[in-house]
Structure formats: structure tokens, C-alpha cells
Structure 1
């Protein structure tokens, strides 16, 4: 039995892709997208109809060009999500504009808009996760959205403070970025790139997993952003892992025994007090890597969002 099939015994496998052809190769339960993946996906010729439909939607939604572009951008996100949902049994994660990451109310409004577009198209909100960058403001937005059964995936998660705040906000799912943490430590020559058992990205997820299970938090932990299959296998047993097609292929083509490395605690302890905003900001800002990678991630996703909008301007 290949390693992918073995891993599925312990962990929900999620495809980190917007390409339906790639998704279908590995039969994942769920799929995740982000602005970078959306930008790649719309350049695939067979998806042109999804882009055309989004342009029509944008033109019908407003008479002002700038607003038309925003509406079309939201619609292409949903169109790709719907196409993915036709090919998987579970949920798709759709990420809102990263430029809203420090505005709680704007995150809430955008999330509700995206969910409304899905539901008008006949997709129930239970099959969609709204992806938000794990800033304090977005975590609080997710807390409010969860009360309306709009489930959220808090992404760009690098610090333990982010993970703790998400659990206390009753967020549905978090995506700790293993590979980007690893990249930072390698770049700063703080670890050797092949020392997998000291990989700070892997250790970060293990710490979050142990904490969540020890205190009985329901928030799902989905490791993300992997650089190699060793990182993935060290996190076997994690609630979920979102994996790029190239690494899914390697797992599928690799034999060898996969053991469960993460096992939940049997004894649930009394939870600690709530982390307040000032404490969150202090603790998060003690982690230089987390501060840099969160801001870098938001900038990168916002740049790709702007590229998508420029493409739409050229079509309009």
C-alpha cells in the first residue's frame, strides 16, 4: 500500500489546489484555494467559461467599473469553488481579499457576500470554509461568523498566540504553515535543511495539536504549506493536512510503512483563561518569524489579488 493510502487512515487529506484535473487524481475529501492558486487556475483554458461568467456577473452587479471588478473577482472565486465541489465529497476553502485582513467588519461583510453567492448557486454554507488571514481582527470576525454557521479557515498561522486565539474564538479550522516556518529558519541558518526532526514548522503543529487536545478545543488543525513528504509523515494523525499535487504524487508513488505520530490526549484538562487582545499582540510580536511571515503572506496574497483585478480590467 502506498504512503498516501496509509496516511488517509490517520488524517483527512485535503488537496491544496484549484486545478480540478489534479484534484481528481488523488481523491481528497476537501480542497483549499488561495489568491495565488485562483490566479493560476483561471489561466487554464477549460476554465474560461468560469471567468466569462464572472465578468457577466460583475457587469450586472454595478454600473461603476471599479465595483464591477470587485464583484467579478468574488464571483470567479466562487465559480472555481463550485467546480471543485462537484469533484469532492467535502468542503472547499475560499479566501477573501487579504487587503481586508485588519478590518473586522469588512471581513464579516465580504464573508457573508461570498457565502450568499454560493447559496444563490445552490451550494449550502456547510460546504464552504471562508479563509481569513489569522490577524487579531480576522480572528474576531471569524468568531462572529461562526455564530451564523459560516465556518472559517484561519490561514497564514505562524505563532502559538494565533493558534490559541483561534481556539478561544471557536474557529472551525486553522492552517499552520509548516513550510514557510521551515523556510524562515533555514534562510536565517538556524537549522540545517535536512534536520527533519528539529523542523520548527513540524514542531509548531505538534505543539498546537497537543495543546488543543489537552484542553478539548474543537478547532480542527490542518497542517499546510509543506516542502517535502518527511514533514507530512511526521504529522500523520493530525486532524487534516492540505497537500500540493506534487507532494500527493510523491506520497502515492512511495511505498513504506506510515505510523501515526500525533495521538490525542485521553484526559481533558480545565482550559486556561482567555487571551486578550493586548496579550495576543505582545505574545505574537515576540516571535520574529511569525511577524515577518504573516506580513509577507498578506502582502503576497494581496499582490495576487491585484493581479487578478488587473486581468479583469483588461477583459472589461
Structure 2
């Protein structure tokens, strides 16, 4: 049995791509997209027509509507290839605007429902800012499920659990990137690999806290740099993995063992934590890595959204 098949026995495998032609080969349960992945996809000849079609049909309604239609078109194409859910991201420029995030999420869901897609097959991706988490709490109460992304800290995970969001996406690789860059020449790759990887440790602490205290929010490790980070999180609720790393897993027959276990987590001595807005903002501020990576991640998604809008204007 290859590692991908072995992983599927322990964890729900999710494809992290906008290139839906690559999805079928790996038979994932769910799929995730983001502005950067959609931008990358529409620049390929086989997807360029999707952008042109969205502009031709909806350009008169403005760029926001064209963007919504394009994201939903990709989502619908992906849903034809998977049995589960697709994650579609709201505009990262709304990351600090609760009301606008709620409105955009509702619009995206309306468009999916117009295409005959049931609300339970869509997760609305929202950045894990305080405002984003509050928007997600409201959406969940309306029956719209959310995926809180750009999550780098325990504080963000705690607040998401309190908000009863459906799923969180802690970013393993970007946490690893920050610690590696900060350590510079002092970084010991071998010593910081596998279960010692700072990104892996972050996800494990969140997973164990949730399972210990009965938090229903699903944990989906994301943003992987290597197969070792993935195998060190076998047993996590879900893992969203790029096609390149899915291919590496499928090509390997190295043994794979369960690394995270919900039953074991229930026996651990982990104190319960809650956050209000003030304590959340303070805890996030105290975490230099999370503060920097959250801001950087939002800026990067905004930049790619603006590039995508530029392609729309030129179409």
C-alpha cells in the first residue's frame, strides 16, 4: 500500500489546488482553493476560457460579481470530481470587516445554490482575524459553514472553537518557514523535522486541545513544504495537500503510522482556555510569528486578487 492510501485510512485527504484536472487522479474527499491557486490556474491555457466566460457574462455587474462567479465556477467544476466539500475564499480585503465578509459569503452561497449545489458542500474560507472569526460565528448560525484560514496561533484556534466554526486550516509550512528564516544559520533541519517541526507541533497542540475539551471544529493541516510534515500529522481530522505532494505520497510505500489520536488526547492534562476580543488580540500580539504571517498572508492573497482583477479587466 502506498503512503497516500495509508494516509486515507487515518485522515480525510483534501486536494489543495485550483487545477481541477489534477484532482481526479488522487481521489480526495474534499478540495480547497484560494485566490493564489485560482490566479495560477486561469493563466493556464486549459482554464483561460473560464475567466473570459465570467467576464463576458457578468462584466457589466462589476469586478466583485465577476470574481464571485469565477470562484463558484471553479468550485462547481471541482465538486463534480469529489464526493465532499469545496472551500471558496472571500476577498481578503474584507478580512477586517465583519459585515462585508458575511454579505460576501451569503452571495457566494446564493450562487452555489443557483447552480444546484447544497450548502453543506461548500466551506466559506475566511482569514482568522477577530473580525473574520465573528463573521464565521454568524454564518454558522445561519447554516453556512466556514473554513478559517491563515491560522498560525493557538489563540486563533481557541477563538474559532468558541465561534463553533466548522473547520480551521492551521498553516504548517508557513510556520516552519518563519522559524527557519528566524534561526538563520543556526537552523538544524534534521533536528526540526517530523514531530519536532514547529508547524507540526502547532497543529498537534490545537488538535489535542480540541479533542480533550470536546471542541467540534475540524482541524485541517495546510500549507505543507514536505511529505515529512504530512506523515507527522497522520490521524489529524483532515490534511489539505498540493498535487505535487500527493504525487510523492502516492509514489512511496514507506510505512505510515498514526501520529495524532483523539482518544489519547482526551487523557492529556490540557487546561481549558477561552478568549474575548481583548485577550485574543493580546495573545496574537505576543506571538510574533503568527502576527507577521497573518498580515503577510492577507497581503499576499490581496495582491493575487488584484492581479486576478487585472486579468479580468484585460479579458
User: Does the CA contact (< 8 Å) of 1:57 and 1:71 recur in 2?
Assistant: no
Structure 2 distance, partners of 1:85, 1:34, is: 15
Check if 1:209 corresponds to 2:207.
Answer: yes
Query: Which segments of 5 or more consecutive residues in structure 1 lack a partner in the other structure?
Result: 63-67
- Within 5 Å, which residues of 2 pair with 1:73-152? 73-152=67-146
Q: CA deviation at 1:192?
A: 2.1
Match of 1:192 in 2: 188
Structure 1 distance, partners of 2:179, 2:158, is: 22
User: Does the CA contact (< 8 Å) of 2:92 and 2:301 recur in 1?
Assistant: yes
User: Does the CA contact (< 8 Å) of 2:158 and 2:273 recur in 1?
Assistant: no
Structure 2 distance, partners of 1:15, 1:273, is: 32
Match of 2:64 in 1: 70
**What is the TM-score when the length of structure 2 is the normalising length?**
0.95
- Within 5 Å, which residues of 2 pair with 1:1-316? 1-59=1-59, 62=61, 68-189=62-183, 191-194=187-190, 195-196=192-193, 197-265=195-263, 267=266, 272=272, 274-315=274-315
Structure 1 distance, partners of 2:156, 2:173, is: 17
Q: State which drifts further: 75-84 or 181-190.
A: 181-190
Structure 2 distance, partners of 1:43, 1:253, is: 28
Aligned CA distance change for structure 1 residues 12 and 188 (closer, same or farther; 3 Å)? same
User: Does the CA contact (< 8 Å) of 1:2 and 1:251 recur in 2?
Assistant: yes
Structure 2 distance, partners of 1:77, 1:53, is: 12
String of CA shifts for 1:119-174, please: whole Å, max 9, x gaps.
Answer: 11111111000000000000000000001110000000001000000001000000
**What is the TM-score when the length of structure 1 is the normalising length?**
0.94
Q: CA deviation at 1:270?
A: 11
Q: State which drifts further: 232-241 or 267-276.
A: 267-276
Q: CA deviation at 1:25?
A: 1.2
User: Does the CA contact (< 8 Å) of 1:191 and 1:199 recur in 2?
Assistant: no
Report the secondary structure of 2:15's partner residue: strand
Report the secondary structure of 2:150's partner residue: strand
Q: CA deviation at 1:74?
A: 1.0
Q: State which drifts further: 169-178 or 13-22.
A: 13-22
Structure 2 distance, partners of 1:121, 1:149, is: 18
Q: CA deviation at 1:57?
A: 3.5
Q: CA deviation at 1:273?
A: 6.0
Aligned-pair Cα RMSD in Å: 1.6
String of CA shifts for 1:50-75, please: whole Å, max 9, x gaps.
Answer: 22331133235x3xxxxx11111111
String of CA shifts for 1:227-254, please: whole Å, max 9, x gaps.
Answer: 1000100000000000001100000001
Q: CA deviation at 1:271?
A: 8.4
Structure 1 distance, partners of 2:114, 2:271, is: 40
Report the secondary structure of 1:209's partner residue: helix
Q: CA deviation at 1:193?
A: 2.6
Query: Which segments of 5 or more consecutive residues in structure 2 lack a partner in the other structure?
Result: none
Report the secondary structure of 1:188's partner residue: helix
User: Does the CA contact (< 8 Å) of 1:12 and 1:239 recur in 2?
Assistant: yes
